[in-house]
């Protein structure tokens, strides 16, 4: 297990910076929390993913049978089943904006994301953020 430092914020302001655990494999999680708790954590993550797939697909007016087939064939870590959303972009921009006030490189990425969004849309802007690890 290692730890990563993350800023925790709300409403555009940073509340604090804390260390969070990152486990390399399921064996480390089982060792830390026990087999039963590890299974419950995995089930919770799976439920969140499957509900997201179902919700996004039903909003896109896919037939329930088609959505059920997607759920039945779901494999974690596979390709995204839905397009990036403006809500996701704005959340990432808000996080980046907090860094941009003190970091010229982050400010440049922030400005470029706005331009890319205006010219090419949400997907292109999120792809740019991903390419720049922002």
If we measure between CA atoms, which residue out of 119, 118, 103 comes closest to residue 132?
Answer: 103
What are the residue ranges spanned by the domains of the chain? Answer: 83-134
Residue-wise pLDDT tens digits, 9-47:
887 788 999 999 999 999 999 999 999 999 999 999 999
In this prediction the pTM is: 0.50
> What does 31-76 look like in DSSP terms, one character per residue?
HHH-HHHHHHHHHHHHHHHHHHHHHHHHHTT--HHHHHHHHHT--T
Residue-wise pLDDT tens digits, 92-118:
888 888 888 888 998 999 999 999 999
């Amino acid at each position: 297990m290692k730890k990563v430092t993350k800023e925790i914020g709300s409403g555009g302001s940073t509340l604090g910076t804390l260390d969070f655990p990152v486990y390399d494999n399921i064996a480390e999680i089982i060792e830390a929390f026990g087999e039963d708790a590890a299974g419950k954590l995995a089930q919770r993550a799976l439920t969140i993913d499957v509900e997201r797939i179902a919700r996004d697909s039903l909003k896109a007016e896919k037939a329930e049978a088609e959505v059920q087939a997607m759920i039945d064939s779901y494999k974690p870590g596979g390709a995204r089943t839905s397009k990036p959303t403006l809500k996701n972009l704005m959340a990432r921009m808000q996080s980046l904006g907090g860094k941009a006030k003190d970091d010229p490189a982050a400010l440049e990425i922030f400005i470029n994301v706005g331009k890319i969004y205006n010219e090419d849309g949400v997907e292109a802007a999120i792809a740019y953020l991903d390419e720049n690890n922002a």
